[in-house]
A and B are shown apart, each in its own frame.
Chain A
Amino acid sequence: MFNHFLLSLLIWLPIAGAIPVLLAGSARPNLARWTSLLIAVLTFVVSLLLLTQFNADSPIKQFVEDYQWISALNVHYGLAVDGISVALILLTSFVGILVIIGAWEVIQDKPHQYMAAMLVLEGLMIGVFCATDALLFYAFFEAMLIPMFILIGVWGGPRRVYATLKFFIYTFLGSIFMLIGLIYLYNKAGGSFDLNTLAGLRLSMKEQTWLFFAFLFAFAVKVPMVPVHTWLPDAHVEAPTGGSVVLAAVMLKIGGYGFLRFSLPIVPDASEAYAWLVIGLSLLAVVYIGYIALVQEDMKKLVAYSSVAHMGFVTLGIFIAFMLVRSGNADAAKLGLQGAMVQMISHGFVSGAMFSCIGVLYDRLHSRQIKDYGGVINVMPWFGFFYMLFAMANSGLPGTSGFVGEFMVILASFSANPWIALFAAFTLIIGAAYTLWMVKRVLWGEVTNPHVAEMKDINGREAFVLLAFAAAVLVLGVWPQPLIHLMDASVTQLVQQLGNHKIY
């Protein structure tokens, strides 16, 4: 019965919910906290409702809402979801609850503004995953930057101003060229921003190439890919824990999602022609950034670089599909895309969990330097358990979600070119090296720092957050089938679209 406005509800519930949270004011922080938790939980419940109502066997976009927004420009308020979107929306609303619980006592300075920014951010991110109108997509895509800018800038670390300005300007720089590209497409399509119309448009190779690079730039910054990844370590290091979690768990996925929604259907020929470039950059991210992660002294920076490396698998999986589908190997192409999607969801959980763990440590010692720790397992056994689990997932241990996506992408790339698979598989070694080495230095050994000896184990609130992440990581690792089934029809359709030549 809600179906015709379920998506709008998902988007606007958290955004509108930010208003009472703000009104609670700094004088009543607990009211603000409980209200925001209530709203986040409600949003999650609505997204579960979406999941139960969603028909995963159909590739057709569901829960369509389509209203004329600006008639003079033929802009629509168009929302709809397919399996890919549903998976990402679930991830967003799930993480949305955990960041609010995670920030409960940690954020003491103006908690109502923090919580409100988080809720607005959540609504806007869900909006990105639902939009079927390119201008609406762009509006959500950019509006997201405002709350994130505030989150990093107000509650961040010592170099937060530098980091947040870099983050904002970098992302804005990437996307403004996409805007020009979209305006060009709008005129080409005779006045429509509808993504389906744009996907059906015939474009010459020259046009496709320009548009491809406009899209690539926008989404490569967001993913982020080498060499435009440099904002990410800064932003992660300086962001408050919740900001890092949202950034890593959801915001980076929007880059990958953008490739699926824009680059692939709209400019498939140029995407195919330049697939080598993206694959090359992805491998560079996997191998080279992996090595960079190895030498980091700062835990957050290390996980940030590991995010870049892991997101390399997402772009690899997406673009390897081109090499495969044009050589007639549609099954392997599908495997690659599925792998990319599973990797996105899995990385959402794993990186969110890693940043939450680092947040737990930081709240106690106010340091993120690896060398300040050592022997943490002696004083925080429960924490050590979770930290070890997520580290294993981060290095791609079978049985955790980290393994599934990477394995699928490696399998798919093996069908395309064994060399690509070889380089991609390096991650299993490098990833294990940097993650486990960090764990070794933080968890194991003797307690050398007297402050570490005074640290208390996780409390119920932190345990809840980590437990939720752990459950997600393990369930997805052992039983990924529901997720794959959820996205199966949409991915199959996407693979068919890849095969369409659009050049006239």
Chain B
Amino acid sequence: MPNMNDILILLPELCLVVAACLLLLLDAFMAPARRWVLHWLSIAVLLVAMYLVMAGQPEQSISAFNGMFVRDRVAEILKVFALLATVLVFIYARPYLIDRKLYVGEFYTLTIFAVIGIMLLVSAGSLVTVYLGLELLTLSSYALVALNRDSSLSSEAAIKYFVLGALASGMLLYGMSMIYGATGTLDLAQLHTAASLHNSTPNLLLFGLIFMIIGIGFKLGAAPFHMWIPDVYQGSPTAVTIFIGSAPKLAAFGMAYRLLESGMGDPSLAHQWQQMLAVLAVLSLAIGNLVAIVQTNLKRVLAYSTISHMGYLLLGLASANSEGYAAAMFYAISYALMGTAAFGVILALACAGFECEEVDDLKGLNQRSPWLAFLMLLVMFSLAGVPPLFGFFAKLMVLQAAVHANMLWLAIVGAVFAIIGLYYYLRVVKVMYFDKPVEGSEHKPQSDLSLRLVLSLNALALLVMGFCWGPLLDWCKSAFPAV
């Protein structure tokens, strides 16, 4: 029986569940003109959840519901940044949604449910919780992608996402069943012990591992399981793309960490998945960076850029030590901040009747609105990994983790693809700064004050974090005490 203590441990999640239901009710009974109340209430709810996560953080890792749910430092950090990213998403998305007549309560409720999924996923203590959180997240995401019902592109993206996502979930579930068969437990901590009892890894366990890696690869969007990313990024309304491109990346990292390290972290097994992750990393780096070069659609460029960034994240995970995990988490956080800022600029530029989806739509942005151009410049150089921006130090950390784990070759591959990737980020800067504006492209950027203010803070944070990344790194490292 769950006792009061278990409930308290789960307080932030429960609070969000209740709030999401209430918001849904509120939306049903409120005049559309007063929807701004809903908007700010949603943001307030997320901030309250963030406060509860941090305030109730125990010193030691504790678990609830017989180990189903774990509350530790890893979960805390990932939840805080997932909530933060979602707050940013809400603020950036509002003017875009209003212009497109998509400013509906479902957007907020579905996103909050997805966030609850993320929070369950990163706190998972058993395979069941992993699956529960994952499904909550992805099912909400499918609906969000299809938010713009009348757009065929949006519906196509949703179907594609749904079919591939269901397949990946199936794979993951199949893998879990094999692992359950091999070890007889669903609890990740017990799994860890059970896996280490064998002298040689049983084939059943190994197969289960492979299926699980496929599921993780799909969630991360790592090549060769990346096919859905470009279409979903392009097809979704940008207000949804920005969400899919930020907070769920943190969840994917959390899921990979829970399954691989907490569950299958025994050295004999780790040795197996390290190699698989290395392959995924190299493929993601290659496909992400090379294919992005030929894209003309800005959202697709960013989609392929995500794939390559997941490659770097995998470099850290593949190190399979506390340093590597800290680096990968650091990377995931930096990517979430960069992703929200990049799509935030697109959202700020997209006004009624103008999507700002093509790279060429940014032509001459420096003439039209120098401040947004400057913010985008910061984001692009940060994504490219040029110091002194945040993205560089995130790359530095994963490269350092790879070198330290005696995977020098992997670090060199990462470095080579950083050069190739540089090209398409520079191209965006080139279009904004060096090209003349196209005639008739004088669309006014969004004038929403909260959007402009928070977006500026978000992009400038990439610069500031380039100087003060120490505290965040310390925080990430504290989540993974060296064994």
Binding site for B on A (CB under 8 A): 69-73, 110, 113, 135, 138-140, 142-143, 145-146, 149-150, 153-154, 160-161, 164-165, 168-169, 172-173, 176-177, 179-180, 183-184, 186-187
Contact = CB atoms under 8 A, between A and B. Distances in A.
Contacts of B429: 149-150, 153
B426 interface: yes
Interface residues of B, number: 32
Contacts of B396: 135, 179, 183
A138 B400 contact: no
B422 A72 contact: no
B387 A184 contact: no
A72 B434 contact: no
B387 A143 contact: yes
Contact of A183 (B388, B399, B477): B399
Given A69-B470, A139-B387, A143-B387, A169 B419 contact: yes
Interface stretch (B23-31, B172-180, B205-213, B410-418): B410-418
Contacts of A138: 387
Contact of B423 (A135, A142, A165): A165
Interface in B361-386: 366, 370, 381, 386
A143 B433 CA distance: 18
A142 B474 CA distance: 25
A153 B474 CA distance: 39
Given A73-B473, A142-B387, A153-B434, A180 B426 contact: no
B426 A70 contact: no
The main secondary structure of chain A at its interface with chain B is: helix
A183 B402 CA distance: 10
Nearest to A153: B434
B392 interface: yes
B430 interface: yes
Contact of B473 (A70, A164, A165, A169): A70
Contacts of B103: none
Interface string B113-156: 00000000000000000000000000000000000000000000
Contact of A177 (B397, B415, B422, B433): B415
Contacts of A165: 423, 426, 430
A176 B408 CA distance: 14
Contacts of A135: 396
B162 interface: no
Nearest to A177: B415
A127 to B, nearest CB: 10
A154 B474 contact: no
Given A146-B386, A165-B426, A169-B426, A183 B419 contact: no
Given A73-B470, A138-B387, 11 more contacts: A72-B470, A72-B477, A113-B370, A153-B429, A165-B430, A168-B426, A172-B419, A172-B422, A173-B419, A176-B416, A180-B412
Nearest to B330: A72
A70 B400 CA distance: 14
A37 B387 CA distance: 27
A142 B403 contact: no
B403 A180 contact: yes
Interface string B463-479: 00000011001100100
B444 interface: no
Contacts of B474: 71-72
B271 interface: no
Nearest to A178: B415
Contact of B430 (A72, A145, A153): A153
B430 A161 contact: yes
Contacts of A73: 397, 400, 470, 473
A475 B334 CA distance: 51
B100 interface: no
5 contacts: A71-B474, A143-B387, A172-B386, A180-B399, A180-B403
Nearest to A25: B370
Given A165-B430, A183-B399, A184-B408, A72 B418 contact: no
B473 A72 contact: yes
B404 interface: yes
A93 to B, nearest CB: 21
A139 B393 CA distance: 10
A379 B416 CA distance: 53
Contacts of B419: 169, 172-173, 176
A71 B468 CA distance: 11
Nearest to B419: A173
A135 B393 CA distance: 10
Contacts of B386: 142-143, 145-146, 172
Given A72-B470, A169-B423, A184-B408, A150 B415 contact: no
A180 B473 contact: no
Interface in B322-368: 366
Given A179-B415, A183-B411, A187-B404, A154 B470 contact: no
B387 A153 contact: no
A187 B430 contact: no
A146 B379 CA distance: 13
A176 B415 contact: yes
B426 A149 contact: yes
Q: Which 6 A-B pairs have the closest CB atoms?
A: A139-B387, A70-B470, A153-B434, A176-B415, A142-B387, A72-B473
B392 A142 contact: yes
Contacts of A139: 387-388, 392
B422 A71 contact: no
Given A139-B387, A142-B387, A165-B423, A176 B418 contact: yes
A146 B392 CA distance: 13
Contacts of B434: 153-154, 160-161, 164
A176 B418 CA distance: 8
A388 B120 CA distance: 76
A414 B183 CA distance: 77
Contacts of B404: 187
B244 to A, nearest CB: 30
A206 to B, nearest CB: 13
A489 B411 CA distance: 39
Contact of B433 (A153, A183, A184): A153
Contacts of B412: 177, 180
Contacts of A72: 470, 473-474, 477
A200 B75 CA distance: 42
B396 to A, nearest CB: 7
A142 B382 CA distance: 12
A487 B437 CA distance: 51
B403 A150 contact: no
For B370, B387, B469, B470, which residue has the most chain A Cβ atoms within 10 angstroms? Answer: B387
A184 B403 contact: yes
A150 B473 CA distance: 31
A169 B425 CA distance: 11
Contacts of B400: 73, 183, 186-187
Contacts of B397: 73
For B397, B416, B423, B433, which residue has the most chain A Cβ atoms within 10 angstroms? Answer: B433
B411 to A, nearest CB: 6
Contacts of B392: 139, 142
B433 A71 contact: no
A51 B242 CA distance: 52
A60 to B, nearest CB: 29
Nearest to A75: B470
B481 to A, nearest CB: 13
Nearest to A210: B408
A139 B389 CA distance: 9
A298 B86 CA distance: 55
Interface in B54-89: none
Nearest to B408: A184
Contacts of B366: 110, 154
A73 B415 CA distance: 20
Nearest to B401: A183
Nearest to B403: A183
For B366, B404, B415, which residue has the most chain A Cβ atoms within 10 angstroms? Answer: B415
Contacts of B433: 150, 153-154
Contacts of B411: 180, 183
